[in-house]
């Protein structure tokens, strides 16, 4: 831990701070806890880059931290040589407050380090940045976004030349570079307008959108199914005030969906997310305006994308006429089953097709894939790992990845992005809904049909939120306890295997035999129970919480729901 007081004084004295920033720091002079929270350590540079609340401080998101992080990243790019500097970096931002300011600050540092910059003229979806890195042959990418976090947050995500977020080894290199760089004196900067004049910056706009949309539309499987119901099929869409506002409706229009009603209040770009408590499609409360619209127009299908349009969530009308949220697992399984079927019907399913999911996503996805002759592999949580696995499988000729998903509402399709992509997923979800509508089925009916065919799978994720400095210690303590004293049974059901992804060890609890798993190197614990249920525990990589995943399979819906209830009760005891 650093001497946070000395760091606070250093910032107060620095010429790099504006008068307003110094005034903000003076206003907390008497609040020791607040000073410690802002200055106890730098924001940690992880595999997702940086994420934090926006205020003045070393442990926060502000222009100084952005410049410092960019200087570290620039050093890593420059180490790749002159060609890498010429290929340069693509920069993007979402709708968050200070987004453009932070993006331009990053551009100034890159240019001063001799690295060419391609920057979007205004906010764009995250998958379009991944696409731009690949499309223009850039060495790297930067995205100023905090995805679906509350409005107080912003973030800084970094990408490498394949269009995926940085693999851990590159993130570690940047983190160690940052330790050598003084946050004020170690930064190179070139004025943005001068860099533009000098040809160091290229601004990206509509031409990039069109190139991206061409790839999105090439993913359509069944235009006829959409045409067949185009006059009567309708849907509601909300971008939650974010970057999906332009390209998602455009992709739906090009697909041939005539009746898309966009929620007008949430089509307004707004970094304060004024109509929702949380701009996260995982939280069904945010859909209240869309639900009102859907009921008013007698529509069965609602789709929403998060502020940076990498996640997508759907709400579907049930048999009682009420709207129910589909989990990321349900949506993923439905879409996987549909894509395999649609590709088979179109004759486009590769003979060596593969579906990827993460270790914490539903086992139902594996069942759907394998029942249809498609191989299934697990990766760690995060699309950089799925991108890595996709690249590996395809380079070796072992498999062609047709679908990748994780339970937190992320889906990746096609070869043109290496991150979750709500633009393409939204288009395919709409195609799927139209296809089922042609069979007089809603997506609620379709999901019920899948349970009948593949089994009554159920999942629930619990978030044990542990904020602040004490929270970090509590999280570490909980993981340590579970690792050192794993429970022999959970909710009265014996644990048959205890697996630790940190060292890749798998313990057979009955025999005491230890084996090694294919995956290792991540702080995740896995308990496999005698009844076929799996429970996983991992600290979040982006938020102060521990996530506990229950993955179960029941004899029927009631049995599945009972499993979820009793295991959720056990999760509640972990805090005590």
CATH number of the structural domain spanning residue 200: 3.40.120.10
Rounded Cα gap, residues 70 and 188, in angstroms: 10
Nearest by Cα to 406 from 311, 279, 538, 314? 311
Give the integer Cα–Cα distance in Å for 156 and 174: 13
Residues 472 and 563 in one domain: yes
Same-domain status, 428 and 484: no
* Residue at which a domain ends, from 171, 204, 237: 204
**Residue 72 in domain:** yes
Does a structural domain hold residue 32? no
Q: Tokens 């050598």 identify what position?
A: 180
Confidence band, pLDDT 50/70/90 cuts, at residue 2? low
Please say if the pLDDT value at position 188 is more than 50. yes
Q: Which residue among the candidates 147, 327, 361, 522 is catalytic per the annotation?
A: 147
Instruction: Answer yes or no: do 420 and 491 share one domain.
Output: no
The average pLDDT across 95-118 equals: 98
Distance CA(349)–CA(296), nearest Å, equals 39
pLDDT digits (tens, 9 = 90+) for 254-309: 999 999 999 999 999 999 999 999 999 999 999 999 999 999 999 999 999 999 99
H-run or E-run covering 535: strand 534-539
Instruction: Give mean pLDDT, residues 11-22.
Output: 97
Of 169, 204, 239, which marks where a domain is finished? 204
Looking at the structure, do residues 450 and 488 belong to the same domain, yes or no?
no
Give the mean pLDDT of 151-177. Answer: 93
Considering the domain boundaries, does residue 30 fall inside one?
no
- Count structural domains, the chain: 3
Same domain, 339 and 474: no
Average pLDDT, the chain: 96
Task: Please spell the DSSP secondary structure of 136-189, one letter per residue.
Answer: TT-SEEEEE--TTS-TTEEEEEEEETTSSBPPHHHHHHHHHHHHHS-TTTT---
Polymer length in residues for the chain = 576
* pLDDT at position 1: 46
Residues 510 and 408 in one domain: no
Question: Beta partners for 261?
Answer: 236
Q: What is the pLDDT of residue 169?
A: 83
Same domain, 367 and 442: yes
Can you tell me the distance from the alpha carbon of 102 to that of 282, in angstroms, rounded to the nearest whole number?
27
Within a domain: 292: yes
Q: Is 50 exceeded by the pLDDT of residue 125?
A: yes
Whole-angstrom distance, CA of residue 556 vs CA of residue 562: 10
In a domain? residue 12 = no
Helix (H/G/I), strand (E/B), else coil: 220: coil
Q: How far is residue 115's CA from residue 199's CA, in Å, rounded to a whole number?
A: 11
Higher local confidence (pLDDT), 202 or 169:
202
Give the residue, 73 or 575, on which the prediction is more confident.
73
Catalytic site includes residue 147: yes
Domain match, 522 and 434 both = no
What tens digit of pLDDT does each residue of 402-438 get?
999 999 999 999 999 999 999 999 999 999 999 999 9
| Domain assignment of residue 18, yes or no | no
Query: Is the confidence at residue 477, as pLDDT, over 70?
Result: yes
| Distance from C-alpha of 113 to C-alpha of 74, rounded to nearest angstrom | 7
Query: 109 and 149: one domain?
Result: yes
Q: Is 8 within the bounds of a domain?
A: no
pLDDT category of residue 454 using cuts at 50, 70 and 90: very high
Residue range of the domain that includes 527: 458-573
Tell me whether residue 101 is in a domain: yes
Q: Are residues 165 and 229 in the same domain?
A: no
Q: How far is CA 190 from the centre of its chain?
A: 32
The domain that contains 499 carries what CATH number? 3.30.310.50
pLDDT average, residue stretch 48-70: 96
Q: What is the largest CA-CA distance in the chain?
A: 70
Q: Which pLDDT does position 38 carry in this prediction?
A: 97
394 vs 471, higher pLDDT: 394
Q: How do residues 515-572 score in pLDDT, each as one tens digit?
A: 999 999 999 999 999 999 999 999 987 778 999 999 999 999 999 999 999 999 999 9
How does DSSP assign 306-360, residue by residue?
-TTSSBEEEEEE-TTS-EEEPPHHHHHHHHHHHHHHHHHHHT---TTEEEEEETT
Percent share of the chain, pLDDT over 70: 99
- For position 489, what pLDDT does the model report? 96
Of 407, 426, 454, the position where a domain reaches its end is 454
Extended beta strands in 373-524, E state: 375-379, 400-406, 410-412, 456-465, 489-490, 493-500, 505-508, 514-516
Q: Are residues 322 and 410 in the same domain?
A: yes
What does pTM read for this prediction?
A: 0.95
My answer on whether 449 and 337 are in the same domain is yes
**Radius of gyration, CA atoms only, the chain:** 24
């Amino acid at each position: 831990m650093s001497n946070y007081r000395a760091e606070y004084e250093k910032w107060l004295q620095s010429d790099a701070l504006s008068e307003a920033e110094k005034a903000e720091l003076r206003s907390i002079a008497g609040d020791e806890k607040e000073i410690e929270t802002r200055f106890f350590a730098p924001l940690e540079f992880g595999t997702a880059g940086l994420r934090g609340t926006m205020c003045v401080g070393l442990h926060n998101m502000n222009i100084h931290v952005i410049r410092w992080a960019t200087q570290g990243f620039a050093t890593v790019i420059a180490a790749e040589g002159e060609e890498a500097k010429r290929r340069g970096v693509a920069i993007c931002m979402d709708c968050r407050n200070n987004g453009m300011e932070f993006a331009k600050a990053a551009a100034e540092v890159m240019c001063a380090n001799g690295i060419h910059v391609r920057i979007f003229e205004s906010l764009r979806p995250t998958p379009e940045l991944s696409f731009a890195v690949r499309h223009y042959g850039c060495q790297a990418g930067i995205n100023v976004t905090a995805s679906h976090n509350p409005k107080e947050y912003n973030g800084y995500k970094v990408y490498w030349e394949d269009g995926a977020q940085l693999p851990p080894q590159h993130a570690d290199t940047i983190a160690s570079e940052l330790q050598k760089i003084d946050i004020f004196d170690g930064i190179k900067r070139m004025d943005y307008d001068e860099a533009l004049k000098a040809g160091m910056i290229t601004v990206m706009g509509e031409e990039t959108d069109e190139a991206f949309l061409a790839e999105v539309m090439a993913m359509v499987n069944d235009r006829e199914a959409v045409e067949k119901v185009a006059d009567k099929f309708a849907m509601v869409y909300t971008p939650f005030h974010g970057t999906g506002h332009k390209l998602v409706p455009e992709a739906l229009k090009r697909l041939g969906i005539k009746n898309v009603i966009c929620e007008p209040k949430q089509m307004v770009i707004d970094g304060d997310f004024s109509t929702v408590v949380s701009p996260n499609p995982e939280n069904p409360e945010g859909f209240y305006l869309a639900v009102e619209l859907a009921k008013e127009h007698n529509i069965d299908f609602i789709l929403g994308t998060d502020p940076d349009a990498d996640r997508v969530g759907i709400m579907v009308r049930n048999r009682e006429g009420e709207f129910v949220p589909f989990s990321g697992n349900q949506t993923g399984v439905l879409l996987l089953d549909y894509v395999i079927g649609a590709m088979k019907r179109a004759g486009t399913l590769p003979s060596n097709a593969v579906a990827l999911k993460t270790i914490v996503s539903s086992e139902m996805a594996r069942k759907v894939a394998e029942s249809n002759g498609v191989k299934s592999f697990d990766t760690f949580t995060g699309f950089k790992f799925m991108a890595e696995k996709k690249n590996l499988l395809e380079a070796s000729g072992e498999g062609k990845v047709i679908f990748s998903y994780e339970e937190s509402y992320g889906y990746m399709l096609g070869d043109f992005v290496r991150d979750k992509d709500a633009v393409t997923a939204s288009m395919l979800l709409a195609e799927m809904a139209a296809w089922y509508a042609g069979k007089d089925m809603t997506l609620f009916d379709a999901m019920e049909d899948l349970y009948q065919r593949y089994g009554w799978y159920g999942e629930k994720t619990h978030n044990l939120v542990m904020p602040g400095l004490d929270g970090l210690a509590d999280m570490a303590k909980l993981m340590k306890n579970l690792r050192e004293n794993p429970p022999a049974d959970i909710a009265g059901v014996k644990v048959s295997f205890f697996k630790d992804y940190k060292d890749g060890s798998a313990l057979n609890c009955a025999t005491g035999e230890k084996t090694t798993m294919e995956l290792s190197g991540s702080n995740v614990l896995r308990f496999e129970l005698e009844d076929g249920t799996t429970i996983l525990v991992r600290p979040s990589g982006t938020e102060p919480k521990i996530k506990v995943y229950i993955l179960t399979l029941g004899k029927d819906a009631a049995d599945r729901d009972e499993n979820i209830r009793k295991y959720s009760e056990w999760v509640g005891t972990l805090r005590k």
